[in-house]
Amino acid sequence: EAAGALWSLTDNEYCKEIILQENGIKTILSLLGQRSGVTDFAKENLTGIIWNLVLQHKCLVAIMEAENPTPTFVQLITKGTASSAENIAGALMRISMCKPYRKALIACPELIPSLVQLLAFGTSLGREHACGALQNIATQNQEIQRLIVQEGAVPPLIRLLKQTVDASLKGRAALCL
């Protein structure tokens, strides 16, 4: 399938440049936002593309300057497959590292609840990415920190510290607290 092949190619910086030139980000985001006509498997691949693209700053900027992608990302976390949720949470973890885009992310009221749900009930990788995204958006923002606590993030973070053997996940959980 085309999305799977493109995901593999987005490890290459030159491919990312071509995607930008061909306005491919708009197409990818449009497909991710469709409620029907795009298979779960295709969306898993498309979210993988997004995750790879945000590793290059120019692509990250193009994604965030597209028509507000955050609600689509939230839908993929809450209603998509585990793989789509992992990929998008990974992308959100990277996007949230960029201070100028934190406001755009947290302007979506469903973002924090969706990340907390992924933190509580997602796969190991999904939980790790949710921890990272929550940690980044909470950085130096007490209002957001309170909101994350109010959404119930502390109990799953404590559970992760107690129960997980995954050192990377345990480290992310500790940093979140």
Cα separation, 137 vs 115, in Å, equals 11
Q: Topology of domain 2-176, per CATH?
A: Leucine-rich Repeat Variant (1.25.10)
Q: 3-state class of 152 per DSSP?
A: coil
The DSSP-derived string for 117-133 is HHHHHS-HHHHHHHHHH
pLDDT in tens, 102-144: 999 999 999 999 999 999 999 989 998 999 999 999 988 999 9
Task: Domain ranges for the chain, please list them.
Answer: 2-176
Helix, strand counts (H, E) of the chain: 13, 0
Q: How confident is the model at residue 22 (pLDDT cuts 50, 70, 90)?
A: very high
